[in-house]
Chain A
Amino acid sequence: MKIAFLSMEHLNKTYSGGKVAVDDFSLEIEKGEFVCLIGTSGSGKTTTMRMINRMLQQTSGTIKLNGKDISELDPVKLRRKIGYVIQNIGLMPHMTIRQNITIVPKLLKWPQKKMDERAKEMIKLVELPEEFLDRYPSELSGGQQQRIGVVRALAADQDLILMDEPYGALDPITRESLQDLIKDLQTRLGKTVVFVTHDMDEALSLATKIVVMDDGKIMQVASPDEILRHPANEFVENLIGKDRLIQARPSITTVGQVMLTNAASITPDKLLKEALKTMHDRRVDSLLVTDDANYLKGYIDIEDIDYNFQTATSVGDVMHDDVFYVQSDSLVRDTVERILKRGFKNVPVVDSEHRLVGIVTRAALVDIVYDALWGDDDKSESKADSSQQGGAAQ
């Protein structure tokens, strides 16, 4: 049997107050994986991570590193082998950047020369000038400090790096560049990373494996792709958020992506005669009524015109204002049933401002249902692509 690089078996952590912070947590991590622990605040992410380097002692369960039970290892030696980046960076203010980077090598009694070389190597790795080595942490920006925090965890050739919300306090741009950096380092140097985050985007872009936690329990373990395609339950779905599901899952598209953008419409001030002509030209039996600013007002169909051709004059006089419509950013999955149930041939689509942007036809819905039931991923992907282009063209 193959031994996992890091395996956690039935971990439980109950704090002295009786709070069960981690509940039957089991996970295997292979070498070179980038594992993101994600979950709401208080879900036990930090607790789980800190059991790995024995900053906390589990109440029950085993953790094995390279097949060895870590409770049999000297905790101090274990920690020197595991890189650890804490949320507040924790650079020592009274040590230079050089000294900070080489804390663990120094604990391991590396020769001075090797430490100096490593410090230079490390600062290059994070693309900071060598002069920075003689500075103190207070003389660096937050983002620069965090870079040092990262390489400090790499400096002693640690294979396993634990990072607890390392980028929580940074602005989005700095954050993104640090995400790129850690991802690049991780793949290039073949490190195994366990990364705690609150941010689903961060997890999706970094992880090879995402572990979703809630109230101490694992909700789902899956690759980013898998988690987007098949969220295990509602909690995971909510954590991912509708927007991301839509973007990432071709089989779950928005109404906006499948609608036709050339809805036949008319303004209320037009004569019925003109409406009839438009219907004829467009070869449709009903028209959507919008005002000059394209706000959806109602609809009118051929029967209305037929009944009232003699008495009424303008479209506004006879239109129905109880029009059923859907929002362009709503999920097809959520709306398709409603549309089909009501038996509409087609349904107008509006944007958040209630402006008409398109129309969903029954024919399009048939395609969607067909795809959902029979379509393979490739097919629905290409379909989503083409409809996306349609959306972009509008």
Chain B
Amino acid sequence: MMHFLAVYGWSLLGKTWQHIYISGISLGLGVLVAVPVGVLLTRVKNRVASVVVSIASMLQTIPALALLAFMIPIFGIGVKPAIVALFIYSLLPILRNTYIGMNDVDPSLKDAAKGMGMTNWQSIIKVEVPLAGPVIMSGIRLSATYVIAWAALASYIGAGGLGDFIFNGLNLYRTDLILGGSIPVIILALIVDWLLGKLEVAITPKTSQG
């Protein structure tokens, strides 16, 4: 192990950074798109919402490697197509949880908000999103785990990241390289999930003084 770190230490750090970078950007974009769209879906006809959610679910079912491969003719190889593919993957859990979380807010609270003279926007910002926050956040956590895991595949289209170790290991029958790539991915996923868990608690609205 020490030997592995001595030889590959710097490279490992670099690849880990790449991995974080790819996943982070994809997830960030996913949140930026899926949360507003999820919110918007609660304001359109149910039929429209269910169509959008099914499209997102469909995208989710495309095998990861295939999706990555599809990106090549459009975006070439490298980081960019990887980010786009992972971004697409991150959408569904966030979108679905946002939509469900918003819809699950007690209708009488939404009614009270409107009845007191909140605009649609004020009701979303002051009432619905805060109350749906924990559900939205757990969607983000789920996406984060997916994205980090699948980012390992991004190496296949030349995006770098910890997947480089894994694919090299597979090609060279080198278990140490495979493990050296996989274990950091797992650790990374666990840490991010833990951090986002903390964040989830932080954004869960207080409902008592204690």
Contacts and interface: CB of A to CB of B under 8 A. Distances in A.
B207 interface: yes
B62 to A, nearest CB: 38
Contacts of B106: 88
Contacts of A87: 108
A76 B117 CA distance: 5
A363 interface: no
B116 interface: yes
A104 B122 CA distance: 12
B10 to A, nearest CB: 47
Contacts of A94: 130-131, 205-207
Nearest to A139: B208
B107 to A, nearest CB: 9
Contact of A92 (B111, B127, B208): B127
A168 interface: no
B208 A138 contact: yes
Given A86-B111, A90-B108, A92-B109, A79 B116 contact: yes
Interface string A119-152: 0000000000000001111110000000000001
Given A92-B127, A135-B209, A107 B108 contact: no
A88 B207 contact: no
Contact of A136 (B115, B131, B208): B208
Interface residues of A, number: 28
Interface string A84-116: 101111111110000000011001000000000
Q: Among A81, A89, A136, A138, which residue has the most Cβ atoms of chain B within 10 A? A: A136
B118 A53 contact: no
A104 B206 contact: no
B108 A88 contact: yes
Contacts of A80: 116-117
A145 to B, nearest CB: 12
A331 to B, nearest CB: 43
Interface string A41-78: 00000000000010100000000000000000000111
B11 interface: no
Nearest to B122: A107
Contacts of B108: 86-90
A107 B209 contact: no
Given A88-B108, A90-B109, A136-B206, A107 B131 contact: no
B205 A103 contact: no
Contact of B209 (A79, A88, A139): A139
A206 to B, nearest CB: 21
Q: Among B112, B206, B208, which residue has the most Cβ atoms of chain A within 10 A? A: B112
Contact of A76 (B119, B205, B208): B119
Interface in A12-46: none
Contact of B114 (A79, A138, A139): A79
B117 A86 contact: no
B5 to A, nearest CB: 47
Nearest to A152: B116
A104 B117 contact: yes
Given A94-B130, A94-B131, A104-B117, A134 B112 contact: no
Q: Among A76, A89, A94, A135, which residue has the most Cβ atoms of chain B within 10 A? A: A94
Q: Among B108, B115, B131, which residue has the most Cβ atoms of chain A within 10 A? A: B115
Contacts of A92: 109, 112-113, 127
A107 B116 contact: yes
B101 to A, nearest CB: 13
A93 B111 contact: no
Interface string A164-175: 000000000000
A105 B207 CA distance: 22
A149 B130 CA distance: 21
Nearest to B108: A88
Contacts of B109: 90, 92-93
A138 B111 CA distance: 19
B207 A136 contact: yes
A13 to B, nearest CB: 17
Nearest to B115: A84
A134 B127 CA distance: 18
A93 B118 CA distance: 17
12 contacts: A76-B118, A88-B108, A92-B127, A93-B109, A93-B131, A94-B207, A107-B122, A136-B207, A136-B209, A138-B207, A138-B208, A139-B209
Given A79-B117, A94-B130, A135-B209, 20 more contacts: A53-B115, A76-B117, A78-B117, A80-B116, A81-B117, A84-B112, A86-B111, A88-B108, A89-B108, A90-B111, A91-B112, A92-B113, A93-B109, A93-B131, A93-B207, A103-B118, A104-B117, A107-B117, A135-B208, A138-B208
Interface of A: 53, 55, 76-81, 84, 86-94, 103-104, 107, 134-139, 152
